Amino acid sequence: MLGPRPTVAGPAEARHAPLTAPGATGAVRAMEAVLERVLETRLRQARDTDAVFARDMADRLAAYVRRGGKRLRTAFVWCGWRATGGSGDASAVLRTGAALELLQACALIHDDVMDGSPLRRGAPAMHVDFAHGHRAGRTGGSAESFGTSAAVLAGDLALAWADDLLTETALASPHGPGLFEEWRAMRSEMVAGQYRDLRAQASGSSGAEEAQAIAVLKSARYTVARPLALGASLAGADARTLDALRAAGRCAGLAFQLRDDLLGAFGDPALTGKPADEDLRSRKLTPLLAVAVRLAQTTGDREAAAVLAPDADVRPGHTVERMRAALERTGARAEVEARIAGLAACGLRHFEATGAAPAVRREFAALVERASGVAPRQAEELV
């Protein structure tokens, strides 16, 4: 349990945060400024610790974080805060968003190590970048082993920075215990989801229940549900409102994950920043793949069932194209598209139950559309 709120002012970056409440887009821009000040502080501390560590690892991590991403989690923190009456000084909300972006860096770096992904955000993944540096320096030993080990440490550093920032924020807030509890639960769920994902790949699972559990733990709660609850906790939300926001986030977060699955199979690498066939080549268990396997078995499509099987031999090019064709032919792609639309609308219904003002509901609808790639059917009712 956190201690009482300190009487001293918060960290330096808090004192520069805007005192008025911008919209979600403005909140993300303001969070970027807070995040930049946090990174500058952490880099100074790293240089004080050790010059080599600062140059090789802390600088590399800061550059990685600065490359950005969707910043959706910050926007959902903002919506959760606004949905429960948050107004005035937004500094704690912005610092929480910045902590989430640092945690996301940890998650992505470690995920790429476990998946052996070569690209992230249109550039070499962290472990690949470290390996390149090892080769360029003509250092002894395996470049791949060095890159993997260094990337694990970089992810750990990102997690430490995130935890430090969130703890500082919680200690300076009258709602710190609630904020910290949401953060604690989210970190455990994130690790649980990642382990279930790793275990499913090792066991060759293709079950729909397993795929759903992974999607809920690893993405739906982490990307939308917990960020909404983090923001709401900073406004002192009651249990009923928190439950409604978590339900809204679970639906919207699953829609986001299903869209990500489709992009992983059919997306343009120039837009996604990562290879389009990675999930297919690795036979990664996703709801999309689970749906396709079920439909192939139900309809007796032996060719699709064979090419989608967990133990099928995946060869570059031809086999991946056959898998894409099977996803289309079985109707899995169409079914997942329909589920995305339904989940997006479900998220809006739960969000409306919070009693949020129409302007905040419209903002949430816009974020759900951005995350899921479809306009929720209820969005037009909010205009």
Q: Which of 334, 290, 336 is nearest to 310 (CA)?
A: 290
**Whether residue 76 has pLDDT greater than 70:** yes
Q: Is pLDDT above 90 for 205?
A: no
- For 49, the token pair is 């610790």
Q: Note the pLDDT of residue 1.
A: 30
CA dihedral 27, 32, 34, 35 (to 10 degrees): 140
Same domain (yes/no): 169, 127: yes
One-letter identity of residue 255: A
Distance in angstroms (rounded) separating the CA atoms of residues 139 and 88: 53
CA atoms within 13 A of residue 134's CA, in its CB half-sphere: 18
Domain end marker among 134, 149, 173:
173
Q: Residues for the chain: how many in total?
A: 383
Report CA-CA distances (Å) from 247 to 239, 252, 344, 359, 373: 12, 9, 12, 20, 20
pLDDT at 372: 93
Give the pLDDT band (50/70/90) at residue 121: confident
Q: What is the pLDDT of residue 218?
A: 87
pLDDT of residue 284: 84
Same domain as 183, residue 146: no
Contact predicate 74/25, CB 8 Å: no
Q: Are residues 157 and 204 in the same domain?
A: no
CA distances from 349 to 222, 241, 354 (A): 20, 13, 9
Q: Is 104 within the bounds of a domain?
A: yes
What tokens were used for 58? 């802390």
Same domain, 37 and 116: yes
pLDDT of residue 331: 95
pLDDT tens digits for range 56-72: 999 999 999 999 888 99
Cβ atoms within 10 Å, residue 301: 18
Give me the DSSP letters along 198-220.
HHHHHHT---HHHHHHHHIIIII
Write down the pLDDT at residue 370: 93
Q: What is the mean pLDDT of the chain?
A: 88
**Nearest-5° Cα angle at 376, 179 to 245:** 20
pLDDT of res. 10 = 39
Q: Which stretches of the chain are assigned E, i.e. beta strand? A: 119-120, 123-124
**For helices 24-49 and 91-115, angle between their N-to-C axes, nearest 10 degrees:** 70
Whether residues 254 and 266 share a domain: the answer is yes
First to last CA, the chain: 43
Q: Is residue 3 part of a domain?
A: no
The C-alpha atoms of residue 368 and residue 146 are separated, in whole angstroms, by: 40
pLDDT at residue number 88: 79
Q: Indicate whether 157 and 196 sit together in one domain.
A: no
Distance (Å, whole) CA 161 – CA 163: 6
Using DSSP's 3-state secondary structure scheme, residue 159 falls into helix
d(CA 268, CA 283) in angstroms, rounded, equals 19
The residue out of 173, 190, 225 marking a domain boundary is: 173
Same domain, 160 and 224: no
**DSSP at 380:** G
Quickly tell me which residue has 């472990």 as its tokens.
127
pLDDT the model gives residue 16: 40
Over residues 198-224, the mean pLDDT reads 90
Question: What is the domain range of residue 227?
Answer: 176-383
Contact 181, 152 (CB under 8 A): no
Verify that 47 and 184 share a domain, yes or no: no
pLDDT of residue 380: 45
Q: Output the CA–CA distances (angstroms, integers) from residue 373 to 150, 262, 369, in the order listed.
A: 35, 11, 5
Of the listed ranges 30-44, 90-104, 115-129, 180-194, the one predicted with least confidence: 115-129
As a whole number, mean pLDDT of residues 366-382 equals: 75
Spatial CB neighbours of 183, under 8 Å, sequence gap ≥ 6? 99, 166, 170, 226, 230
* Number of domains, the chain: 2
The answer to whether 169 and 102 have CB atoms below 8 angstroms apart is no
Write the single-letter amino acid at 301: D
* pLDDT tens digits, one per residue of 123-169: 899 999 999 999 888 788 999 999 999 999 999 999 999 999 999 99
